[in-house]
Structure 1
Amino acid sequence: MARGRRETAFSEKEFYLDEFRGRTLAFAVYHDAVPERLRLLGEVARDLLLNDTRVIVLLGGGAARGRAGLRALDRALAASSAQPSLPFVARPLAGEDAPVLTLAAAEVDAPIAEPLLLGVWRVLRAEPLLVACCLDVGPERLVDFAQRLGARLRVHKLVVVDSDGGVQPPDAPSVLSFMDESVMEALLRRGEAESAGLGARRPLLAAIREALLAGITSVNLAPLDGVARELFTYEGSGTLFTREDYCRVAPLALDDYHEVEKLLERGQSEGYLKYRDADEIGRILISGYGATIGAHHLAGVCALQRDGYAAERAGEIVGLYTITRFKGEGVGVKLVDCMKAEARRLDLAYLFACTTQERVGQFFERQGFRRIPAGEAPAAKWRCYDPARRAAVAVYRWDC
């Protein structure tokens, strides 16, 4: 059993790399600080390139002039004793024959046309990395160019690297982790951004909204030192923007199982979920539901299990877990609502859920569940159940 757990050790980074594999990510990076700090971006680019992900970097500010920033990227991309070589012959970005385009301000501001697209393709046809140095443009113009180019190329994701990081209104305790296009539309109405204390970021937010409307499925806004956390962890470091203003709940597909298994393992390691072996997790997967925000972002999971409860016409909600970034977005509520609807469709008498977490119990109570003695749960629930855990478990019931 322990050996199996090691083989399926949870890795948030792998979870996201799976999503990015075979796709293209574009980065808009306005950087006027010490060029060496671009090594942070180079390390992220290296991880993506090793993952068979195309990377387009649009540099503005001081980083677009001279070669110091390009050399910092080169150092991060270079192989070392601790890093494998890239799966292609990487031409040095600071060299003469480099995969680098230099664009004057007029070219950045012009409509996206065939000569630029051909120049991009000539580079990406040979290798999966392109850097474009955009001269003499401010951060808003750089992001506007990035969203126009990204939309024309239909990139999978645009990452905007900004020194101010994600969106944080003055009265908010932390950065807003998620915004959809409808929220942005309301924020960008006359005077709304200013009243929210975000007037200075209006041009940037408007460009990000245009990216979503033009077809880029998601945009991330983060500081340079937070890009890796933003792309490769559930918590993130900035703000994720998607066009869709809905959370869709649907049965898990086979292609979801691997990612959801990792997510459940995370919930177990945090103590939110009961430890289950591979077969027990498998039962959750085959009866599971996933909540997805936007086109690609898994936000939470749960399962409805009925085996052993036929006599009571009962169903148990198990494996309910939501990703940190989307807590507060109503993902858990939508999952439970789906389970309620499914219970009615199946003509069940009631649903129940078990937890050792007080906060989770309070969540179920808010959804109309009431706490009951453990002995009122179906007897089959407690067969081969750990007595110590049973003593600590609270049981909640919802009548259909």
Structure 2
Amino acid sequence: MGDEVTTPGRAHIRWFRNTAPYINLHRGKTFVLMLGGEVAQHENFANVIHDIALLKSLGVRLVLIHGSRPQIASRLETAGIQSNFYQDVRITDTDALEHVKDAAGSLRSQIEALLSMGLPNSPMQGSHMRVCSGNFVTARPTGVVDGVDFQHTGKVRRIDTEGIHRQLRDDSIVLLSPLGYSPTGEIFNLALEDIAVNCAAAICADKLILFSSEAGITNTEGDLIRQLSLGDIEQLPLANAEQGALLHTARQACLEGVPRCQIISYQDDCALLEELFTHDGSGTLVANRDYEKSRQAGIDDVGGILELIEPLEQEGILLKRSRELLETEIDLFRLLERDGRIIACAALYPFPEDHCGELACIVSHPDYRGGKRAQRLLAELEQEAINMGLKSVFVLSTQTAHWFREQGFVESSRDQLPGHKQSLYNLQRNSKVFFKTLS
């Protein structure tokens, strides 16, 4: 009975402990969150706001940008006013503008109220969030396009970057509505995506987080795609219009210099926290550079490599390496890094006098196996060997022979090993020898 009570609690504590690196990573960073009007209509909206408040409590600087398209459509329908669009952009005439202002103002007040909650025994207890709204977005009219006058529909002209940063430094959450203001005192109805991209780029946000009705971007089989580069987006078949629009927004933001955009569900409880505080997240990451970075190892990586290879050493798959030995050989290692965490490693030991090199310690973290990361490091080290003028590479393996055969290695005798390596050969391990000719 005692175990039934304490084990779940300990599991939660371990999860919280594992989030510590991400808490430290995100503290002081600036995130822009784009919430469409559909988010406010969903039953999970209050939980989304609670998670946003938790981010704020953990030291993240937040800019929230909300849309109001469904709220505007509802008000126009009730008033008997037809919604007019051209190229999927709403035409906002004078009558419609009043309902646009009403919808935006009402939703803004709702969000401010939720962020002001402090009820006992609720997630917001003791939060004391300060929310700041204002005329941070200067707009211009869209004008006449293809003979169509968009009237009070506009585009972003300028973001008050200093004004937003001042509020963030004062520990406020900045809340932007889908409205912009002109120097002549006019109000324009703006596209949510236009504000989000321009704001995230102008304030040099670290992330732009986009909320979707689905977990993220999916492939044609319906499987979640966890990460995408800009090049991937151009070739990806679109599952539906919503995903296409979100990918377009993410791509534009990355092209404007935002390092990362993350697409997550507003329907799944805790999706925001899972995305930001777990290794794999809950949605789709779009990055303007490789999410997983390959680089040469340095002395500061010794501890991370030891942690990665220790389980395989205990199983006898790898020979044990001491910290002292690894420190002397660290320049021979190449790493694959994800969010500052080493998830794969491999080493190349050259024997230039024999025109060959040994590939060793090829390891992927258990959480990241199956993603061809070992193949990526193997290919990079093979190219490095070619650049050194080596003609072949070899490996010694006790339990992974099939994998090396799949990579083009051929079983050979230990007599083909360099003389120095033959003298160190461990007869007790009886490792198989595999060579691969480099081309």
Native 8 Å contact 1:267 1:321 kept in 2: no
1:306 maps onto 2:315 in alignment:
no
Shift of 1:151: 0.9
Native 8 Å contact 1:28 1:158 kept in 2: yes
Shift of 1:221: 1.0
Alignment of 1:45-124 (within 5 A): 45-46=55-56, 48-49=58-59, 53-60=60-67, 64-66=108-110, 67-71=112-116, 76=123, 92-93=128-129, 98-101=130-133, 110-111=155-156, 113=158, 116-124=160-168
1:321-374 deviation per Cα after TM superposition (whole angstroms, max 9, x unaligned) = 26857954x543331122112223445553215364x5xx54433321234578
Quickly say closer, same or farther: Cα 1:246–1:46, change in 2 above 3 A.
closer
**2:360 alignment partner in structure 1:** 317
1:289-347 deviation per Cα after TM superposition (whole angstroms, max 9, x unaligned) = 23468xx777854232539998895423214326857954x543331122112223445
Native 8 Å contact 1:182 1:243 kept in 2: no
SS at match of 1:216: coil
Shift of 1:169: 3.1
1:42 maps onto 2:41 in alignment:
no
1:235 maps onto 2:244 in alignment:
no
| TM-score (structure 2 length as normaliser) | 0.62
Could you tell me which of 367, 373, 379 is aligned with 1:337?
379
Distance 2:291 2:47 in 1: 37
Q: Which runs of 5+ in 2 are unaligned?
A: 1-16, 72-106, 140-152, 181-189
Deviates more, 1:261-270 or 1:150-159: 261-270
Alignment of 1:243-392 (within 5 A): 243-244=288-289, 249-253=294-298, 260-261=304-305, 264=308, 274=318, 278-279=323-324, 282=327, 285-291=330-336, 300-306=343-349, 314-321=357-364, 328=371, 331-348=373-390, 349-354=392-397, 356=399, 361-371=401-411, 378-379=421-422, 390=429
1:356-395 deviation per Cα after TM superposition (whole angstroms, max 9, x unaligned) = 4x5xx54433321234578987456665x9x6xx47x766
1:199 maps onto 2:241 in alignment:
yes
Distance 1:273 1:71 in 2: 56
Quickly say closer, same or farther: Cα 1:21–1:59, change in 2 above 3 A.
same
Distance 2:306 2:192 in 1: 37
Distance 1:28 1:326 in 2: 33
Equivalent residue letter for 2:228: M
Equivalent residue letter for 1:366: E
Native 8 Å contact 1:235 1:325 kept in 2: no
SS at match of 1:121: helix
**2:42 alignment partner in structure 1:** 33
**1:213 alignment partner in structure 2:** 255
Native 8 Å contact 2:49 2:115 kept in 1: no
Native 8 Å contact 1:177 1:240 kept in 2: yes
Distance 1:218 1:162 in 2: 16
Distance 2:415 2:124 in 1: 60
Distance 1:263 1:48 in 2: 28
Quickly say closer, same or farther: Cα 1:202–1:303, change in 2 above 3 A.
closer
SS at match of 1:343: helix
Distance 1:395 1:226 in 2: 47
Q: Which of the pair has more CA radius of gyration? A: 2
Equivalent residue letter for 1:337: A
| TM-score (structure 1 length as normaliser) | 0.67
Native 8 Å contact 1:350 1:397 kept in 2: yes
Native 8 Å contact 1:59 1:131 kept in 2: no
**1:155 alignment partner in structure 2:** 205
Native 8 Å contact 2:229 2:290 kept in 1: yes
Quickly say closer, same or farther: Cα 1:208–1:321, change in 2 above 3 A.
same
**1:168 alignment partner in structure 2:** 218
Native 8 Å contact 2:35 2:211 kept in 1: yes
Native 8 Å contact 1:39 1:73 kept in 2: no
1:15-42 deviation per Cα after TM superposition (whole angstroms, max 9, x unaligned) = 5456545532222234232343125523
Higher strand share: 2
SS at match of 1:222: strand
Sequence identity of aligned pairs in percent?
A: 17
Shift of 1:229: 2.7
Distance 2:218 2:331 in 1: 39
**2:103 alignment partner in structure 1:** none
Quickly say closer, same or farther: Cα 1:43–1:367, change in 2 above 3 A.
farther
Q: Which runs of 5+ in 1 are unaligned?
A: 1-10, 80-89
Quickly say closer, same or farther: Cα 1:324–1:64, change in 2 above 3 A.
farther
Quickly say closer, same or farther: Cα 1:211–1:373, change in 2 above 3 A.
same
Could you tell me which of 30, 46, 57 is aligned with 1:24?
30
Native 8 Å contact 1:27 1:158 kept in 2: yes
Distance 1:143 1:255 in 2: 41
Aligned residues, how many?
Answer: 350
